[in-house]
Amino acid sequence: MKSSEKIYTNITDLQKKIEIWKFNNQAVVFTNGCFDILHLGHIDYLEKAAALGKKLVIGVNTDASVKTLNKGKERPINDEYARMRLLAALGFVDAVILFSEPTPLELITILQPSILVKGNDYSVETIVGADVVLKNGGEVKTIELVEGYSTTKIINKILGN
């Protein structure tokens, strides 16, 4: 499947796809983030997330929402389309969709993933949408992050900071 075929612009289309996957007993894992400059930490995290189920869906912050997350006025470095294509090109990623809200709560509520995942810099109690997933019989998990890798650290290294 071409990476562009994994990018969803219509939430209803993705919702229908997820319903098919779940009907076929394929656990759907959901995670989200900016994924501005794709690095080892991202790949490790997403690989581990994908291993928790059969299908991995990623919610990606729009360019506008990245700017509201205190990432810095020059962020994102890569535009939303580039970030989505890079993620969709990964063999273990099954779907990518943008969200523009401050959090992915609406997306999680509509998509109803089987498993919601975030890095272990969160606790289950602080993961947005955890209550929705748990209420519907799903699971919420955290994944250990690779130390020393972040987009901010990469940018600072490039800038000599």
Each residue's pLDDT tens digit, 60-116? 999 999 888 777 778 899 999 999 999 999 999 999 999 999 899 999 999 999 999
> Residue 21: phi, psi to the nearest 5?
-60, -45
4 closest CA partner among 79, 62, 86: 86
Fold observed for domain 3-159: Rossmann fold (3.40.50)
- pTM, whole model, 2 decimals? 0.94
Helix or strand run (H / E) with residue 115: strand 115-119
Tell me which H or E stretch contains 81: helix 80-88
State the virtual CA torsion across 140, 141, 147, 148 in degrees, nearest 10. Answer: -30
Q: Indicate whether 30 pLDDT > 80.
A: yes
Listed by start position, the domains of the chain span: 3-159
